[in-house]
Amino acid sequence: MLQPNKAIYTIDDIYALPEGERAELIDGQIYAMSPPNRLHQKLSMELSVEILDYIKKNNGSCEVYSAPFAVFLNEDTKNYVEPDISVICDKNKLDDRGCNGAPDWIIEIVSPNSKRMDYHTKLFKYRTAGVKEYWIVNPERQQVLVYDFVGDGEKTDTYSFADTIKVGIYDNLHITISKLINLE
């Protein structure tokens, strides 16, 4: 049970939540998570499978994880997130609890209650933690924002679900979301 007057929460508070209750912890503040809808889950599943198939076909070493999967961004006790999809290429970051440090690629699928978190709070946290690539998939707008944090600055591109998107961390992986799911 959360203590209402506690100023800073830790990962211990996340693990103490009642069974089935999910939340994320960013800079010591807890953010409750609502259950995803069916389209959200379908997008997560199809994107995960597409990425995993690519890795397997190319004998890649990266691993793909779907939420709920623990990511301890700063390897401290005040930050814990559960990205919708995490791709981790450094297996030294993985243990039985989850990922310790920044995944190489994170995909967040926007829900009505997660817009501020996905577009602002997590964008800042992922960039500063060392995530290389961050996708924000918005089913309502049928739009994908792609942030490339590698190199001398941040590159941002906007795509529709019908566009073919080149994945930055791979040389020849291209994803067209409209080919993965039928939105009609």
CATH number assigned to the domain with residue range 37-180, chosen from the 4 options 3.90.1570.10, 3.40.50.2000, 3.20.20.140, 3.30.460.80: 3.90.1570.10
d(CA 10, CA 12): 5
Residue 116, SS3 per DSSP:
helix
Residue 64, SS3 per DSSP:
strand
pLDDT at residue 181, rounded to an integer: 87
Q: How confident is the model at residue 7 (pLDDT cuts 50, 70, 90)?
A: confident
Q: Would you state the structure tokens that stand for residue 165, as one six-digit string?
A: 């998107």
pLDDT at residue 5, rounded to an integer: 59
pLDDT digits (tens, 9 = 90+) for 120-157: 999 999 999 999 999 999 999 999 999 999 877 778 99
Polymer length of the chain: 184
d(CA 66, CA 85): 5
pLDDT digits (tens, 9 = 90+) for 72-99: 998 789 999 999 999 999 999 999 999 9
68 preceded by a cis bond (ω within 30 of 0): yes
The tally of CA atoms less than 13 A away on the side-chain side of residue 4 is 0
Q: Nearest to residue 31, comparing CAs of 103, 146, 113?
A: 113
Q: How confident is the model at residue 3 (pLDDT cuts 50, 70, 90)?
A: low
Contact present, 164 and 174 (Cβ < 8 Å)? yes
The structure's pTM equals 0.93
Give the angle 145-169-139 at the CA atoms, nearest 5°. 25
pLDDT at residue 106, rounded to an integer: 98
pLDDT at residue 151, rounded to an integer: 73
- In sequence order, which ranges of 37-144 are alpha helices (DSSP H)? 38-57, 115-116, 122-129
d(CA 68, CA 70): 7
Residue 150 DSSP one-character state: S
Is the predicted pLDDT of residue 184 greater than 70, yes or no? no
Is the predicted pLDDT of residue 1 greater than 50, yes or no? no
The tally of CA atoms less than 13 A away on the side-chain side of residue 8 is 7
Is the predicted pLDDT of residue 56 greater than 60, yes or no? yes
